[in-house]
Amino acid sequence: MRKAYFWGGIHPKGNKSMSRGQDSLPAPQFKTVVLPMVQHIGVACTPLVKPRDQVKLGQKIGDGAGVCAPVHASVSGKVLAVEPRPHPSGREVLSVVLENDGLDTLAPTMHAHHDHRNLEPNEILAIVHEAGIVGMGGATFPTDVKAFSALGKVDCMIINACECEPYITSDDTLICHFPQEALGGTEVLQWTLQPARTVIAIEDNKPEAIAVLRQILRGRTDLELLVLPTRYPQGAEKQLIQAVTGRLVPPGALPATVGCAVFNIATAAAIWRAVYAGQPITRRIVTITGDGVAAPQNMILRIGSSFADAIDAAGGLLEGTKKVISGGPMMGFAQKRLDIPILKGTNAILCLKHGNETLENPVCIRCARCVSVCPMHLQPLYLYRFTKLRSVAQLTRFHLMDCIECGCCSFICAGQLPLVEQIRAGKQMWKEANQR
């Protein structure tokens, strides 16, 4: 099928060669892990353990009602504390602190199945829920809720392997090292949602992963591999839907509105492990990269491992490193401290020797570049201005909440306005105003 293209976007330098092919899997175990009860969009989990309890690998240690994804022990050992701890969001979040005994004694909590085709869709979604699976590309919305909302409504399912953020190669590494898990999870989702068309979408800057996918999909007619031209933010949900199908998701609407569902390829692999190995999310591949770390690479890290331990395992920070980011340079968040845990949605730790060079009094030069690159057809400058004016009515009028915070506007801004920073502040202001 002919590829479509989305509006706007940019072509930042990829910098993926730093970590691509430099894989060290898995990482060593660390002495302690910190497991926040907030690792997803939705209701925070309530701890199910208390200090001095003994836990096993894969044991559920946190759960909640409503839109929630359970948290599981990523090691076996003893509960040291249940208390607020630093979180990558910048807040302190109630967390379970575990002392790793190094034994990886398994908890018999989940059952491995031999064939997903013997399961009903609701049974598969229950397994996905119990495994605590969320969007592994960084969105972290509970996958069972997302899939349930798409049941009977979609004719096209897209597996997102684009990984469009610069520097990050965790999904690339997943495909090259564990293609059967990625493909198997795709088949489970395919069986669950029954779409007429299933597409694995990937950007053309990943030749090794493309070759692996072409090999394992050879002769298959039920799965389609679509290689897209590299362009940021190709992997954003609405932009990917437009690139693959030509369909436009209306403002404020969900992909199911246009008959589509999108899942990250790492999410698909996690689903395979839940169904066929009975494993909840206790680990993930993380890219540790940038010119500020000694040995950029991809590692399989336990959820709850600290940024500090992960960076040390990659050779440590180099002299002159100025910034450590959770995620990529476009949408990630700079961190003030490194004793924060890796979460389910942590796909990268980016260490940089250069910081943002900001002007003391940035000024808009009215070049309209921010408008030309915005993939959501927004006017970032006006969102910036109305946030500063604290005008919630105008922010609503200019569709503030449609912003996906991709960072294209900040990247291209000749006046160096902190556009995304202000838009994020505007969203918080909008939410507070609408909760009154």
Tens digits of per-residue pLDDT, 114-123? 999 999 999 9
Residues 262 and 151 in one domain: yes
Residue 197 is predicted with a pLDDT of 97
Domains in the chain, number: 2
Task: Count other C-beta atoms under 10 Å from residue 41's C-beta.
Answer: 16
Residue 346 near residue 88, CB atoms below 8 Å: yes
Which of these three, 257, 277, 297, is where a domain ends? 277
Residue 356 pLDDT exceeds 70? no
Distance CA 351, CA 308 (A): 11
Distance CA 300, CA 26 (A): 5
Tens digits of per-residue pLDDT, 236-256? 999 999 999 999 999 889 999
Residues 377 and 251 in one domain: no
Residue 355 pLDDT exceeds 90? no
Residue 181 pLDDT exceeds 90? yes
Residue 45 lies in a domain: no
Place of tokens 């570049």: 369
Please state the rounded mean pLDDT for residues 192-201: 98
Distance CA 205, CA 230 (A): 6
Residues 266 and 382 in one domain: no
Tens digits of per-residue pLDDT, 285-303? 999 999 999 999 999 999 9
Please state the rounded mean pLDDT for residues 96-111: 93
Residue 108 is predicted with a pLDDT of 85
Residues 238 and 134 in one domain: yes
Residue 421 lies in a domain: yes
Residue 73 lies in a domain: no
pLDDT confidence of 357, banded at 50, 70, 90?
Answer: low
Q: Report strand pairing: 348-352 vs 224-228.
A: unpaired
Please state the rounded mean pLDDT for residues 267-277: 97
The DSSP element (H or E) to which 351 belongs, if any, is strand 348-352
More confident residue, 99 or 251: 99
Distance CA 164, CA 235 (A): 6
Least confident of 23-37, 212-226, 234-248, 311-325: 23-37
Distance CA 50, CA 324 (A): 32
Residue 284 lies in a domain: no
Which of these three, 277, 296, 323, is where a domain ends? 277
pLDDT confidence of 434, banded at 50, 70, 90?
Answer: confident
Residue 138 is predicted with a pLDDT of 85
Residue 101 lies in a domain: no
Residue 22 is predicted with a pLDDT of 82
Residue 229 near residue 244, CB atoms below 8 Å: no
Tokens representing 183? 């493909």
Please state the rounded mean pLDDT for residues 211-225: 96
Please state the rounded mean pLDDT for residues 203-231: 96
Above pLDDT 70, what percent of the chain?
98
Residues 119 and 242 in one domain: yes
Residue 22 lies in a domain: no
Please state the rounded mean pLDDT for residues 93-104: 97
pLDDT confidence of 13, banded at 50, 70, 90?
Answer: very high
- The CATH number given to whatever domain includes residue 206 is 3.40.50.11540
pTM, full prediction: 0.94
Residue 112 pLDDT exceeds 50? yes
Residues 127 and 269 in one domain: yes
Would you call 200 exposed, middle or buried from its count of C-beta atoms within 10 A (0-12, 13-18, 19+)?
buried
Q: Based on C-alpha coordinates, what's the Rg of the chain? A: 21
Residues 383 and 265 in one domain: no
Residues 263 and 379 in one domain: no
Residue 353 lies in a domain: no
Angle, alpha carbons 160-166-171 (nearest 5°):
35
Is the N-terminal amide bond of 375 cis, ω within 30° of 0? no
Residue 163 is predicted with a pLDDT of 97
Which of these three, 211, 244, 277, is where a domain ends? 277
Tens digits of per-residue pLDDT, 370-414? 999 999 999 999 999 999 999 999 999 999 999 999 999 999 999
Tokens representing 73? 């022990």
Please state the rounded mean pLDDT for residues 308-326: 96
Residue 4 is predicted with a pLDDT of 65
Residue 1 is predicted with a pLDDT of 47
Tens digits of per-residue pLDDT, 384-396? 999 999 999 999 9
Distance CA 108, CA 31 (A): 23
In terms of residue numbers, what domain contains 393? 369-434
Distance CA 199, CA 159 (A): 6
pLDDT confidence of 212, banded at 50, 70, 90?
Answer: very high
Q: Within its chain, how far is the Cα of 232 from the centroid?
A: 15
Residue 26 is predicted with a pLDDT of 84
pLDDT confidence of 58, banded at 50, 70, 90?
Answer: very high
Residue 412 lies in a domain: yes
Q: What is the mean pLDDT of the chain?
A: 94
